[in-house]
Amino acid sequence: MLIALLVMSVLALILGAVLGFSALKFHVEGNPLVDKIDAILPQTQCGQCSFPGCKPYATAIAAGEADINRCPPGGEEGIRKLAELLNLEFKPFGEDTAATKPKSVAVIDEYTCIGCTLCIQACPVDAISGAAKQMHTIIESECTGCELCIAPCPVDCIIMVPIQENITTWKFRYPSASNPSAANNMAKLS
């Protein structure tokens, strides 16, 4: 019994050393630009950019295969940050991209919900709480407003409600091209 335990311990140490060496020897460096782009994106994983998530979209931007103006949840602020990072000119949203919307959160009409769990399966960030044949509810602090839960709902009990601007949700808006004096003032500050 003691010999078997000793043999297994020695074998575990040898295999652990081999795995550790292999991890160091065959380590693959990721593209740091992809990581920086991914950090700017809103991480909603909503697919509105025609990519399955933020990381694939960041990879496509870094490779030059996608424009920086395809992320509606990121809004114009996201486009500006990407343009600044990549030393590109700001581009407004493309014609084939959904227009930016106000930041919203999903709300479930709990009297209409039948507990089918289709919305739970569709939510990429697990912001919906509930069980089969039970009422569901949205965890507002987790909801990214991607709207992926709306389409699968068979009874249309989910609506999107814009988040009211207050001291905790307010964000600085960059001057728009429609207000050239504000844009010129910002240029002078830079």
Rg (CA), the chain: 24
Buried b / exposed e along 10-28 (16+ C-beta atoms within 10 A):
eeeeeeeeeeeeeeeeeee
CB atoms within 10 A of CB 6: 10
User: Which backbone phi and psi does 29 adopt, to 5 degrees?
Assistant: -80, 135
Stretch 170-180: mean pLDDT, rounded? 54
Per-residue pLDDT band for 175 (boundaries 50, 70, 90) equals: low
Phi, psi (deg, nearest 5) at residue 185: -60, -40
- Domain shared by 112 and 79, yes or no: no
Residues 6 or more apart whose CB falls under 8 angstroms from that of 146 comprise: 44, 45, 46, 47, 48, 73, 124, 125
Indicate which CATH number applies to the domain containing 64. 1.10.15.40
107, part of any domain: yes
Domain that holds residue 41: 32-95
Residue 182's pLDDT band, with cuts at 50, 70 and 90, is very low
Q: How much is the pTM?
A: 0.60
% of the chain surpassing 70 pLDDT: 84
pLDDT score of 96: 63
Residue 163 has pLDDT above 90, yes or no: no
Query: What is the DSSP-derived secondary structure letter of residue 149?
Result: T
Please identify, among 95, 118, 139, the residue that sits at the C-terminal boundary of a domain. Answer: 95
CA distance 136 to 86: 42
Q: Where is the domain boundary, 44, 79, 95?
A: 95
Burial (CB count within 10 angstroms: exposed 0-12, middle 13-18, buried 19+), residue 85: middle
Res. 158: pLDDT tops 70: yes
| Spatial CA neighbour of 30 closest among 64, 59, 65 | 59
Q: How many domains does the chain have?
A: 2
Residue 180 belongs to a domain: no
Residue 25 lies in a domain: no
Return the pLDDT at 183: 47
Tens of pLDDT, residues 115-132: 999 999 998 888 999 888
- Domain final position from 95, 115, 139: 95
Within a domain: 146 = yes
Is residue 124 classed as helix, strand or coil in its secondary structure? coil
